[in-house]
Structure 1
């Protein structure tokens, strides 16, 4: 396995921090040791994790953390009264894979934290090599001090099954682009926009979510309906498959919102980036004010929103 040659064949020139990480990843892969690649946004974590996954032998499986957890929840719910429901769900999802790659692993919900602990226990029993990327070091997962202690057994498993590798170069490569490279990057931040006349009620995962309107594959939401009510990441995943052009109106200064509201908004942005959905934000405030204040875990969200085209 020559990870460096594989990366070089992509045409990218690696910086010193990335070269150091590649050397470490090669050493861990040779021992079939799990990898937890973490660091600030835009440093190339997903790129290097994907390259490592590419050079590892089959059987292997690459999944996005949000989508995987949505399906895991669904399968467990379908077997709720069965003994060993979690083990059976993991077996169905992972199959024969000996390598499982997670992109964007982050935990902010105590329920998901408990389920992640069970998932890691099952993967340990199956001797699956795990590759994960995250903006947080292991000890920074589930950062809310009200719940962090509940996830200490899960953090211990993360450290047991994976070696942390920090990627912390000086350059944020997300900010070096010229023309938009994705549909998401064609989005906008505006102060006003035309709105549909008739609100609609959308059936999502058996629950009703109010939208300001829809037209083809475009959907309009009020910030309050989408983020201040108890919606979930699973809801956003379903909606992102249904609509590829989102408009969210009335976006406030997030520092004035409850923690749960801010986290829902961050989850919306994560899902739309991954699904490559165009996002238009309508706000009376510039992006710098929207993201200003003592807000937890909006560094990644800020970096992603700075990719979209801003207009008045």
Structure 2
């Protein structure tokens, strides 16, 4: 993009990214020397964290850089561990000579993933690889379960020691606002729909094998998968399983989606993971439900990341009623104009 109009929180984050890229932008920030080897951007959904990270990633002048959604990286890591026989060899295979790695939606809810992540962070910083991450959580709120949180405190200390931690938490959810203002790009994920009612037409039931079970689909033809919520979210499927399904099915329809407060928390978590996977892959998602989007996510207890899910679903036509356009974002247009290298 040629010009970004940033709010105050976004400008602070952009300045931190520019500092890591070897320049201070229009302000100098009191980061300790040596320059932090990365940035951790955290805040509520839709505040522009991913947009800032992606702009930074595109402008860094390096061929030894990679960007992952967190689910995507962990899927590759588990595959590499199985193929190589251990974590050190798996990390060697995945990282290679990488000098910059960007993670979108950095989150930790599982103690097993937390242990893998701690080893990953130790490896990244030992190799002086620059890390940029976005998250809905400040470091201290990762792995929030009080019975397990202490196991992740060494990793939190690593994040604080090596990264500039910056809150990007302005008052506006730009993702939802853009769609209310009818400037939402209706391609990829956003070319799906949020439909109040039942799916019309006849079903063609079929069984889709995935992992250790069969998924009973209403239809599975070419690149289209039509499946009920209870089937895709009620069975023990992981984000890795959803990623595997996207290799074959590039258009998704999920039917009979209930108010999420009426379903078990495990099913809610799978729904969150499914939306994450489809959103990051930019694949069309159509939902059929009897409830509005606010009602869908209202009063759901113990469901991490559901606010992000609601923000992402707001991009679907039909998810939100039309409203009067809001004022343009205030703030000066600014981003470093030249391509930058990384700290050595």
Runs of 4+ with deviation above 4 angstroms: none
Partner secondary structure for residue 164 of structure 1: strand
Give the distance between the partners of 1:94 and 1:299, measured in 2 at CA: 31
2:108 corresponds in structure 1 to 107
Give the distance between the partners of 2:61 and 2:188, measured in 1 at CA: 32
1:244 corresponds in structure 2 to 250
1:201 corresponds in structure 2 to 207
Aligned-residue offset at 1:146: 4.5
TM-score by length of 1: 0.88
2:169 corresponds in structure 1 to 168
Aligned-residue offset at 1:267: 0.6
Structure having the larger proportion of residues in helix = 1
Give the distance between the partners of 2:116 and 2:208, measured in 1 at CA: 28
- Matched positions, count: 300
After superposition, residues 1-312 of structure 1 pair within 5 angstroms as 10-30=2-22, 31-58=35-62, 59-80=64-85, 85-174=86-175, 175-177=177-179, 178-181=182-185, 182-190=187-195, 191-194=197-200, 196-205=202-211, 207-295=213-301, 296=303, 297-310=305-318
| Further displaced range: 237-246 or 145-154 | 145-154
Contact map agreement 2:258 2:296 (CA 8 A) in 1: yes
1:6 corresponds in structure 2 to none
Partner secondary structure for residue 203 of structure 1: strand
Give the distance between the partners of 1:159 and 1:256, measured in 2 at CA: 38
Aligned-residue offset at 1:150: 3.2
TM-score by length of 2: 0.81
Contact map agreement 1:195 1:220 (CA 8 A) in 2: no
Distance 1:145 1:254, change over 3 A: farther
Distance 1:86 1:130, change over 3 A: same
Give the distance between the partners of 2:72 and 2:61, measured in 1 at CA: 24
Contact map agreement 1:86 1:119 (CA 8 A) in 2: no
Please give the root-mean-square deviation of Cα atoms over the aligned residues, in Å: 2.1
Give the distance between the partners of 2:264 and 2:109, measured in 1 at CA: 14
Partner secondary structure for residue 40 of structure 2: strand
Aligned-residue offset at 1:205: 3.9
Contact map agreement 2:37 2:128 (CA 8 A) in 1: no
Higher relative contact order (CA 8 A, sep 6+): 2
| Further displaced range: 245-254 or 26-35 | 26-35
Distance 1:157 1:200, change over 3 A: farther
Give the distance between the partners of 1:117 and 1:142, measured in 2 at CA: 12
Give the distance between the partners of 1:171 and 1:180, measured in 2 at CA: 15
Give the distance between the partners of 2:61 and 2:125, measured in 1 at CA: 19
Contact map agreement 1:195 1:212 (CA 8 A) in 2: no
Aligned-residue offset at 1:207: 4.2
Distance 1:306 1:146, change over 3 A: farther
Unaligned runs of 5+ residues in structure 2 are 23-34, 322-344
Aligned-residue offset at 1:157: 2.5
Give the distance between the partners of 2:261 and 2:278, measured in 1 at CA: 22
Give the distance between the partners of 1:250 and 1:132, measured in 2 at CA: 35
Contact map agreement 1:105 1:132 (CA 8 A) in 2: yes
Aligned-residue offset at 1:308: 0.6
